């Protein structure tokens, strides 16, 4: 199969698998959003909003993935015996580019962002960023309440200035000075300014302690190892015969998926456990960072409030949680905060 035909076949295969995947997962998504989430008061989506959201997600994901997959196939075809080096470089650059452009150009396609209004909270956040030398460029509130009652906060940006994003469901009265547009149920909900600052102290702790950079480095190392294994195995015909290609056809994309999903399954299992352990360690470190900023009590209060608002289950078996959860349980985090706070005193 020549390079041009290979790219066409890969695009068709990608579109087919993505389309089948959408229809396969749709009943579960509908049940999750309109039955489970709605039952517990979290779902805020109308059927029209949901359908439009799913269509946009499908179009955006394919518009991004089709050129990337085409380029990957092309690199494998022309790259020679060391194509995995060029492939690693290309995918690494693209992944960093997507991380950079997602919050600016892609996220606004799905949610509405507005600047956080001037006031004590904005001033306190700017002061905290300045204290930590965090290069804050923009401070936004995302109207997540149109989609769900769940709340969150995060920062984005790899190079230069960064932006902080707060879910309106996290803020008291959705961060609005004028609460006349809120329902009686919505009024008085959300975290206090001190609790929001504690949550941000935790999030900025991830930045200050280099957790984002470490995760990116780990991701790049994993990509390199995967591409090296792929370069050694993708020409073996049994891989393709195992999934129905008995005529000597060896589509690159199919070979890559077989190797990643099946051949590397033991590796993926071990890495998944290691990343869960690392993620939990990072969460404890970020909590400790916020505690050292003086937010131990407020962080504990915000964790409890968010856990209640999100109907989190309060008690898990320690080993079950360590195996399945990327974050320590609420009780584990509160206990650690108390221990660290006593050490400071």
Which is the catalytic residue, given 6, 37, 195, 203? Answer: 203
Place of tokens 């959201």: 53
| Alpha helical stretches, state H, the chain | 3-31, 38-39, 47-78, 83-101, 120-131, 193-208, 211-233, 237-241, 252-258, 265-290, 296-309, 318-324, 330-344
Residue 132 in contact with residue 152, Cβ under 8 Å?
A: no
Q: Known binder of ligand: residue 307?
A: no
Which is the catalytic residue, given 6, 195, 287, 288? Answer: 287
Active site residue 287: yes
- Joined together, the tokens standing for residue 13 give 């295969």
Q: Known binder of ligand: residue 185?
A: no
Place of tokens 């209060």: 301
Q: Cα dihedral sign for 182, 187, 190, 195?
A: positive
Question: Rounded to whole angstroms, how far apart are CA atoms 93 and 216?
Answer: 11
Q: For residue 332, which of 281, 265, 295 has the smallest C-alpha distance?
A: 281
Question: Rounded to whole angstroms, how far apart are CA atoms 279 and 101?
Answer: 24
Residue 308 in contact with residue 214, Cβ under 8 Å?
A: no
DSSP symbols for 134-145: --EEEEEEE-GG
> What H or E segment, with its residue span, contains residue 167?
strand 162-167
Q: Known binder of ligand: residue 202?
A: yes
Q: For residue 161, which of 88, 104, 121, 108 has the smallest C-alpha distance?
A: 104
Which residues carry a binding-site annotation? 202, 206, 283
Which residues carry a binding-site annotation for Zn(2+)? 202, 206, 283
Catalytic residues: 203, 287
């Amino acid at each position: 199969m020549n390079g041009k035909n290979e790219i066409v076949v890969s695009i068709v295969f990608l579109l087919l698998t993505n389309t089948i995947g959408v229809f396969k997962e749709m009943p579960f998504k509908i049940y999750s959003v309109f039955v489970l989430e709605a039952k517990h008061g979290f779902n805020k989506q109308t059927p029209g909003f949901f359908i439009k959201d799913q269509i946009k997600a499908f179009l955006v994901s394919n518009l991004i993935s089709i050129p990337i997959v085409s380029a990957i196939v092309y690199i494998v075809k022309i790259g020679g015996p060391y194509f995995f080096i060029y492939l690693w470089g290309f995918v690494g650059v693209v992944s960093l580019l997507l991380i950079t452009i997602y919050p600016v150009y892609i996220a606004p396609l799905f949610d509405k962002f507005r600047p956080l209004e001037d006031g004590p909270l904005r001033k306190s956040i700017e002061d905290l960023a300045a204290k930590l030398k965090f290069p804050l460029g923009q401070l936004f509130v995302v109207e997540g309440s149109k989609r769900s009652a769940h709340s969150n906060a995060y920062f984005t940006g790899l190079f230069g200035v960064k932006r902080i994003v707060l879910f309106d469901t996290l803020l008291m009265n959705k961060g609005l000075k004028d609460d006349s547009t809120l329902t009686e149920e919505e009024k008085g909900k959300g975290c206090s300014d001190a609790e929001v600052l504690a949550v941000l102290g935790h999030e900025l702790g991830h930045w200050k302690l280099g957790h984002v950079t470490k995760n990116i480095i780990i991701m790049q190392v994993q990509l390199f190892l995967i591409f090296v294994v792929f370069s050694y195995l993708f020409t073996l015909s049994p891989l393709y015969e195992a999934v129905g290609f008995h005529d000597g056809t060896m589509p690159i994309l199919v070979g890559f998926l077989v190797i990643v999903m099946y051949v590397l399954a033991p590796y993926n299992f071990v890495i998944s456990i290691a990343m869960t352990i690392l993620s939990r360690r990072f969460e404890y470190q970020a909590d400790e960072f916020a505690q050292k900023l003086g937010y131990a009590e407020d962080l504990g209060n915000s964790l409890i409030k968010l856990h209640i608002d999100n109907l989190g289950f309060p008690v898990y078996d320690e080993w079950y949680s360590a195996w399945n959860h990327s974050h320590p349980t609420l009780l584990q985090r509160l206990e650690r905060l108390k221990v660290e706070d006593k050490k400071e005193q």
